[in-house]
Amino acid sequence: MAGVAQAGNPLGRALRDVRHMAEDRYSIWSWIATVDHKRIGIMYGITAFTFFLIGGVEALLLRIQLAQPNSTFLDPDQFNRLFTMHGTTMIFLVVMPLSAAFFNLVIPLMIGARDVAFPRLNSFSFWAFLAGGIFLNASFFIRGNIFEGDIGAPGAGWFGYAPLTSTEFSPGHGIDFWILGLLILGVASMAGGFNFIVTILNMRAPGMTLLRMPLFVWMTLVTSFLIIFAMPVITVALFELLFDRLYNANFFNASVGGSPLLWQHMFWLFGHPEVYILILPAMGIVSEILPTFSKKPLFGYPFVVFSGVAIGFMSWGVWVHHMYTTGLGTVANSAFGLSTILIGVPTGVKIFNWLATMWGGSISIKTPLLMCAGFVTMFTIGGLSGVLHTMVPSDFQQQDTYFVVAHFHYVLFGGSIFALFAGVYYWFPKFTGKLLGEGLGQLHFWLMLIGFNLTFFPMHISGLLGMPRRIYTYQEGFGFDTLNMMSTVGGFIIAASMLVFITNFISSLRNGEKSGRDPWDARTLEWSLPSPVPNYNFKEVPVVEARDAFWYTKYRENEEGVVVRIEGAAADDEEDDGEGGHGIHLPSPSYFPLIAAAGLPIIATGLIYDPALVAVGVATTMIGVFGWAIEPPTERR
Amino acid sequence: MATSTGVDNRKLFMWLFLASECLFFGSLIAAYLLYRGQHGVPCMDGDLSTCVFPTDRTINGVEYEGIFDIPFTSVSAFVLLMSSVSMVLALAAIQRGNVRAMRIWLFTTAALGALFVGGQAFEFTEFYREGLTLETNLFGTTFYVLTGFHGAHVTIGVLVLFSLLIWSSRGKIQAKDSLNIELAGLYWHFVDIVWIVIFTLIYLIQP
Ligand SMILES: [Cu+2]
């Protein structure tokens, strides 16, 4: 294999040296250059959780401000910037990448593959995500510092409605950072979307037909399609806004006839599929955990699959329900109201299938199951308040009130975050070999459930009473006082639950109970592997004979038709220390994806401040891309 | 490598990427068409900032139809169309194992692509001289951004083709590597088709 590394020149030698450093499994370089989907998944998870803490602190600051009427803890400008960053962070830097963490960790294992289809592209996705996240948060520091009441972050809301985002109403560079940060994050998630579609369609083990794929794989597939089709729309909208801001274009400039509504259409044409990008992976996780902890196959598998696919299609035809009050007319409003009611149907199908899965099962109440139960109940509440928004007159009343805030937090926190934590408790043993502590886990769950409901349930009421969202304070005597104090106390209880989680995580990592391969008596292929999973995943590529592939290697019906465990099946005998599997070709580590991704924030900074930097950034990315193209992808292990 | 669907990973990737690009160009074209349909204030004498879209068909006293040099752009569209033909020939050549012919056709494709980009640069300069900028009005904004993004795609394609040429001059592209050429070809044809759509919508069907 003649790569550049073979040449005798200094560059070639340097490249060989750094590649050598990355070969050592325990060095930091092996993480930076890794193309192993499991390591990338772990890095996604840790990074996204860090952003979760940052977004959480932003939320706490907002809650402190709103705890009492007429508070001056934050000024209006800081308040705007903090809620903008809170929303943007939680959606793009937390829920999406946490889902991506699980795609990375388990999808290849579930379909019986040794890695994703494009390991280096996968690494690029992660680095671009990290770069975009840092770039976006860098905006905090561009104007001064928070102690002087001066922060530079964007302040026009996570949906950045025109014309508020124009240079006239949002001077400074906060919005530019927001636009460019989201563009970089878009590149990251699109690259991931392509990668996982190809992986799922093309890398399945023999016998893993589409209708034998675990539900989580299906939901990842649908989500990835939504990502690759929704992201280009927001990309164009963001570019248009960027041209308006940087080069005085007129896309959203009403004074020469540009239409601010165009932004809303494009944003929500992306935004509603985005809602399902955030929730479908969570639904997939729950659809894995509930059957395992109920000891029953998922009830109505094909219905759950096809309702997920149906949601994927229908999510493109409902965006105007975010725009009822913009004056599009009765016909448009009614039509989109109807389509929004219809999209509730496949969602309802799923909820009933989950309930039926648990019905009559022998349920073992462990933290992953509790988190899933939390998901199903909280998500149902969020779904029901969502149904209220489909009705145009009711929506008119609730528009821009805390009722909406309550609704989407029930869906995104009560839904996605609970399910993602369920996934953490469920799969933690697979990648660490240790169980997360059950006692602290349950404490985490109950604190989070109580804190969550205390925070967001009162918002239904304050919203119906008319409290407007995105306003930095309120007057006393409107009946908002107690409700807001409750929300603030709840917010701190959620924060406390996170401390419990972090404690549990660290202590379990150090001296948690050993889990073995299959601590939950689970159903899918990843549990047939040693924990932690060796870097080549499968020593021999499995042959799949049924849905719930692993379960059917453990259980069969005896002569009386009773399901019994096969003697000695999947015993936890050989502890694999990753020494086996010689001769398996694995993708070699590479720095080029990191270099290619590192160019992106440089280009973005340059666009704002200095064209010369753009050239540097483009050159960096080009070096990354060309090096990537030339470097041989695989070496013998 | 055998895949579950039988389609090569990279080819599947390219098809998905192009599908995603449809939404990208679709959104840009939608913005153009949305604003074209709007009737607004006519352009005042020489003051372009007052016109929403050049519905009175003049920019700086120049007839709106007049700003497009249809024969010129038709020629450059034809150039791009022909580059797709040479792209097909390049792929056919390498699949037969004829590296030399492939190189010739790849070069032809890249050169025709570069010619098209040059033509676009010339066109932009001309429009700019006539007073049409990104800031002028909605037409300027939507026209430059839509055709500019297309031009950027062609430019990237040209770069890819030249890279492949350099790569093949080092003997790295043989018949068994024809997939590289095929992928570049898929992208190239896509960009070509997008231009046919843009050319028809912007230049041929005017309000
Ligand atoms: Cu929606």
Q: Are the beta carbons of B57 and B165 closer than 8 angstroms?
A: no
Here the tokens at position A187 are 């590149």
Distance CA A360, CA A168 (A): 62
A248:B134 CB<8 A: yes
On whether any CB of chain B is under 8 Å from the CB of A203, the answer is: yes
Give yes or no for residue B39 having a pLDDT over 70. Answer: no
- Inside any domain, residue B123: yes
Instruction: Say which of B3, B41, B134 has its CB closest to residue A202.
Output: B3
Please give the residue of chain B at the shortest CA–CA distance from A119.
B9
Place of tokens 């046919």: B196
CA of A313 to the centre of ligand 1 (A): 13
In chain A, what residues touch B137 (CB-CB under 8 Å)?
A: 250, 256-257
Q: Are the beta carbons of B120 and B191 closer than 8 angstroms?
A: no
Phi, psi of B62 (to 5 degrees): -90, 135
In chain A, what residues touch B7 (CB-CB under 8 Å)?
A: 202
Distance CA A363, CA A353 (A): 16
In chain B, what residues touch A189 (CB-CB under 8 Å)?
A: none
Place of tokens 């792209």: B87
pLDDT at B129: 85
Distance CA A226, CA A96 (A): 12
pLDDT at A33: 87
- Inside any domain, residue B11: no
Distance CA A77, CA A497 (A): 30
- Print the SS3 string covering A599-611: HHHHHHHHHHHCH
Here the tokens at position A64 are 């402190």
Place of tokens 């001077």: A171
Domain count across chain B:
1
| DSSP annotation string for A219-240 | HHHHHHHHHHHHHHHHHHHHHH
B13:A118 CB<8 A: yes
CA of A269 to the centre of ligand 1 (A): 9
Q: Are the beta carbons of A380 and A244 closer than 8 angstroms?
A: no
Distance CA A385, CA B149 (A): 42
Here the tokens at position A325 are 């009050």
A256:B137 CB<8 A: yes
pLDDT at A571: 57
What average pLDDT score do residues B103-130 get?
94
CATH value at residue B146: 1.20.120.80
- Inside any domain, residue B40: no
Q: What percent of chain B has pLDDT over 70?
A: 84
B141:A251 CB<8 A: yes
- Inside any domain, residue B99: yes
Average pLDDT, chain B: 86
Q: In terms of Cα–Cα distance, which of A100, A318, A261 is closest to A191?
A: A100
Model pLDDT for residues B143-201, shown as the tens digit of each residue? 999 999 999 999 999 999 999 999 998 888 888 889 999 999 999 999 999 999 999 98
Here the tokens at position A96 are 């999406």
Q: Is A587 helix (H, G, I), strand (E, B) or coil?
A: strand
pLDDT at B98: 92
Distance CA B47, CA B61 (A): 10
Here the tokens at position B14 are 């390219």
Q: Are the beta carbons of B168 and B58 closer than 8 angstroms?
A: no
In chain A, what residues touch B27 (CB-CB under 8 Å)?
A: 232-233, 236-237, 266
Sign of the C-alpha dihedral computed for residues B45, B47, B51 and B57 taken in this order: positive
- Inside any domain, residue B164: yes
Place of tokens 């508070």: A71
On whether any CB of chain B is under 8 Å from the CB of A434, the answer is: no
Sign of the C-alpha dihedral computed for residues A474, A480, A481 and A487 taken in this order: negative
A602-625 core/surface letters (b: 16 or more CB in 10 A; e: else): bbbbbbbeeeebbeebeebbeebb
- Inside any domain, residue B22: no
Residues near ion ligand 1 (Cβ under 5 Å): A 272
CA of A271 to the centre of ligand 1 (A): 7
* The residue count for chain B: 207
pLDDT at A21: 73
Q: Are the beta carbons of A202 and B5 closer than 8 angstroms?
A: yes
Model pLDDT for residues B42-67, shown as the tens digit of each residue? 444 445 555 545 444 444 444 454 57
Instruction: Say which of A202, A249, A257 has its CB closest to residue B12.
Output: A202
Question: Nearest CA to CA, how far is A522 from chain B (Å)?
Answer: 25
On whether any CB of chain B is under 8 Å from the CB of A42, the answer is: no
Q: Are the beta carbons of A227 and A189 closer than 8 angstroms?
A: yes
Here the tokens at position A502 are 């972090």
Residue A634's H or E segment, with its range, is: strand A634-636
Please give the residue of chain A at the shortest CA–CA distance from B156.
A622
Please give the residue of chain B at the shortest CA–CA distance from A248.
B135
Instruction: Say which of A236, A248, A256 has its CB closest to residue B27.
Output: A236
Cα distances from B31 to residues A227, A239, A554, B85, B138, in angstroms, run 21, 12, 57, 31, 10
Distance CA A459, CA A250 (A): 38
User: Between the CA atoms of A225, A228, A233 and A235, what dihedral angle is there, to the nearest 10 degrees?
Assistant: 150
Q: Are the beta carbons of A284 and A215 closer than 8 angstroms?
A: yes
Distance CA A39, CA A444 (A): 26
CA of A357 to the centre of ligand 1 (A): 28
ipTM (interface predicted TM): 0.92
- Inside any domain, residue B155: yes
Distance CA A420, CA A96 (A): 11
- Print the SS3 string covering A411-456: HHHHHHHHHHHHHHHHHHHHHHCECCCHHHHHHHHHHHHHHHHHHH
On whether any CB of chain B is under 8 Å from the CB of A235, the answer is: yes
Full residue range of the structural domain in which residue B133 is found: 28-34+69-204
- Inside any domain, residue B53: no
**What residues contact A330, with CB distance under 8 A and at least 6 apart?**
none
Count the Cβ atoms, other than its own, within 10 Å of residue B18: 16
Q: Is A492 helix (H, G, I), strand (E, B) or coil?
A: helix
pLDDT at B59: 47
Q: In terms of Cα–Cα distance, which of A242, A263, A165, A250 is closest to B134?
A: A250
What one-letter code names the amino acid at A418? F
pLDDT at A382: 95
Query: Is the link from the previous residue into A273 a cis peptide, with omega within 30 of 0?
Result: no
Model pLDDT for residues A434-492, shown as the tens digit of each residue? 999 999 999 999 999 999 999 999 999 999 999 999 999 999 989 999 999 999 999 99
B14, B16, B137: best to mutate for the A interface, most A CBs within 10 A:
B16
In chain B, what residues touch A207 (CB-CB under 8 Å)?
A: none
pTM of the predicted model as reported, rounded to 2 decimal places: 0.93
B145:A239 CB<8 A: yes
Residue A564's H or E segment, with its range, is: strand A563-565
Taking 50 as the pLDDT cut, the residues of chain A under it are: 1-7, 578, 636-637
Q: Are the beta carbons of A321 and A389 closer than 8 angstroms?
A: yes
What is the number of CB-based contacts under 8 A between chain A and chain B? 105
CA B97 to chain CA centroid, Å, is 30
